[in-house]
Chains A and B, each alone.
Chain A
Amino acid sequence: MTPVSARIFVVEDSGIVAQDIERRLQALGHQVCGRAASCAEAIEAVHATRPELVLMDIMLRGAGDGIEAATVIRDRLHIPVVFLTASSDAATLLRAREAGPYGYLTKPVDDGELQRTVEIALRLHALERERDLLREALSRAERAATLGALAQGLAHEVRNPAFAITASCDALEAQALVPPGRLDVVRRQVERLVRLMDALVEFATPGGTPTGCVALGRLLSEVRRLTETLARQRGVAVEYVAGPAVVLLQLDEIRGTQALAHVVQNAIQHSPAGSRVVVAAEVVGDGVALVVDDEGPGFADDGDPFVPFGSGRRGTLGLGLPTARRVLEDHGGQIEVGARPGGGARVRLHVRRAGLEEESG
């Protein structure tokens, strides 16, 4: 075991014993960050100094004993405590156990035992913290999975009535019960609802551990394919200034393509007809920077474009950039928005490269 050095607080009502223990702790490489002799004093000083470990005598001066102090320190401050005991009766030891100590040291304290007990207490506490962090991460993942399942269930429930509506429109027209085209407005609104549900599912579904990779050239050509219809409809020219196509990106092909397509679609949607959107890629350090520039009105100062439905812009679902950010971050990348020099919006994505060793120029 590698030696650990920790900040330790000593609670002991005998000054001689306290000094002796402090000296030995320092000899073992630890730092003694304070000393107290009573229960109340101990709680206050430990609260103020936030040590990594408390050595606590059970019998203390004044009201309250070390067990009381240890219970408060555990419950409120989550700092591990090791008890220092002389020979104690069974009832006291039983109470001491209730305080959840990380170890016991019997006075007079033996050097080797002090070292081992302190080290085990510190490691045990570190492990418990790690366990708590994992638990938290697990519960976050579970919440995300629940949200994804909820979105999928909802999307399914919406698709059936959506189909009932559009199929009824089709039947009414086929039977010549309404003039052709009269129901197009209904169809468009239903289509919008369905697109919204799909976007919600995409946003809310956890991606799992990303493993795949995609070549930059492939990514860009897929994004071009996905966005060219919209670009044509809007009369916007999308120009791809590709870097080296052979660079491999640490990005799942399907999710990565969707993420970049969201950004490009967003740029097209906010571009005036006849203007240009430029998608440029260049190798930067251990990754690739993808910059999407448009000549539209740019991002508003108020409102966060990465908050779902937070863009406040008409004509978009408000989930494109939040989804893109989620995908990028799942893959260890980044995305940021800003202004394009000369007017318009600029979105910059940073994606990690995969298989750097395969590249040499």
Chain B
Amino acid sequence: MTGAAPRRMLVVDDEEPILFALQSYFESVGFVVTAAADLELARRQLAEQPPFDVVIADLRLAGVHTTDGLAVVAAARKRSAASRILVLTAYGSAEMEKTARAQGADLLLYKPRPLPEIARLVEELLAR
């Protein structure tokens, strides 16, 4: 971080242990991380803060059958065309991937996935 502003990340997941792990991991590899546990908190952070460099959102917030994560994706994409947006899901489909991309997601990843791998993919997206 020589002179350059630290990169900022928003992570959204309703499962506290996952949220905490994502936050501590990405902080330890140099990101400034804001954590949000639900859609409303995520929307507020997106509205109040400058655009994030990276947004990582769980597809299903609060309940197996909701796809609130897509609303986070849409809000983040509306806020900034430059944000790199990743969606995490436990069980997806090709269709779901299409929908997520239509809302503005750059990448859909299946859980569980090693965080160093996710970090590498984030770097690749940022380098584009």
Residues of B within 8 A of A175 (CB): 24-25, 28
Task: List the one stretch of B46-54, B77-85, B111-119 in contact with chain A.
Answer: B111-119
Residues of B within 8 A of A160 (CB): 15, 18, 90, 111
| Assembly CA distance A308 to B83 (angstroms) | 47
Tell me, rounded to whole Å, the shortest Cβ–Cβ distance linking B23 to chain A: 8
CB atoms of A164 and B21 under 8 A apart: yes
- Band of interface residues on B: 20 to 34
Per-residue CB contact flags for chain B residues 5-46 toward chain A (1 = under 8 Å, else 0) read 000000000010110111011001100000000000000000
Given contacts A156-B64, A170-B21, contact A162 B91 (CB under 8 A): no
Q: Which residue of B lies closest to A166 (CB)?
A: B112
Per-residue CB contact flags for chain B residues 80-103 toward chain A (1 = under 8 Å, else 0) read 000000001011000000000000
| Assembly CA distance A187 to B116 (angstroms) | 13
CB atoms of B29 and A153 under 8 A apart: no
Residues of B within 8 A of A157 (CB): 64
Residues of A within 8 A of B18 (CB): 160, 163-164, 167
| Assembly CA distance A295 to B97 (angstroms) | 43
Q: Which residue of B lies closest to A155 (CB)?
A: B91
CB atoms of A194 and B112 under 8 A apart: yes
- In the assembled complex, A190 has its CB within 8 A of some CB on chain B: yes
CB atoms of A174 and B111 under 8 A apart: no
CB atoms of A170 and B17 under 8 A apart: no
Given contacts A156-B64, A168-B21, contact A163 B29 (CB under 8 A): no
- Band of interface residues on A: 20 to 34
Residues of B within 8 A of A153 (CB): 64
Q: Which of B28, B91, B113 contacts A174 (CB 8 A)?
A: B28
- In the assembled complex, A152 has its CB within 8 A of some CB on chain B: yes
CB atoms of B115 and A174 under 8 A apart: yes
CB atoms of B21 and A171 under 8 A apart: yes
| Assembly CA distance A156 to B65 (angstroms) | 11
Per-residue CB contact flags for chain A residues 129-158 toward chain B (1 = under 8 Å, else 0) read 000000000000000000000001101110
Given contacts A164-B18, A171-B115, contact A156 B91 (CB under 8 A): yes
Residues of A within 8 A of B112 (CB): 159, 162-163, 165-167, 190, 194
Interface centre among A152, A164, A165, A167 (most CB of B within 10 A): A167
Residues of B within 8 A of A162 (CB): 111-112
Q: Which of A156, A166, A194 contacts B114 (CB 8 A)?
A: A166
CB atoms of B90 and A159 under 8 A apart: yes
Residues of A within 8 A of B110 (CB): 159
CB atoms of A163 and B91 under 8 A apart: no
Residues of A within 8 A of B111 (CB): 159-160, 162-163
Tell me, rounded to whole Å, the shortest Cβ–Cβ distance linking B38 to chain A: 16
CB atoms of B115 and A170 under 8 A apart: yes
Residues of A within 8 A of B25 (CB): 167, 170-171, 174-175
| Assembly CA distance A171 to B91 (angstroms) | 23
CB atoms of A163 and B24 under 8 A apart: no
CB atoms of B90 and A167 under 8 A apart: no
CB atoms of B90 and A163 under 8 A apart: yes
Tell me, rounded to whole Å, the shortest Cβ–Cβ distance linking A22 to chain B: 66
| Assembly CA distance A163 to B111 (angstroms) | 6
| Assembly CA distance A152 to B93 (angstroms) | 13
Residues of B within 8 A of A155 (CB): 90-91
Tell me, rounded to whole Å, the shortest Cβ–Cβ distance linking B102 to chain A: 23
CB atoms of A163 and B113 under 8 A apart: yes
What are 28 A-B contacts defined by CB distance under 8 Å?
A: A155-B91, A157-B64, A159-B90, A159-B110, A160-B90, A160-B111, A162-B112, A163-B18, A163-B112, A164-B17, A164-B21, A166-B115, A167-B18, A167-B112, A167-B115, A168-B20, A170-B25, A170-B114, A170-B115, A171-B20, A171-B24, A171-B28, A171-B115, A174-B24, A174-B115, A174-B116, A175-B24, A194-B112
Q: A159-B112, A164-B17, A174-B116 are in contact. List 8 more A-B contacts (CB 8 A).
A: A156-B90, A160-B111, A163-B88, A167-B18, A167-B25, A174-B28, A174-B115, A187-B114
Residues of B within 8 A of A (CB): 15, 17-18, 20-22, 24-25, 28-29, 64, 88, 90-91, 110-116
The 9 closest A-B pairs by CB, nearest first: A170-B115, A167-B21, A159-B90, A163-B112, A163-B111, A164-B17, A171-B25, A174-B28, A171-B24
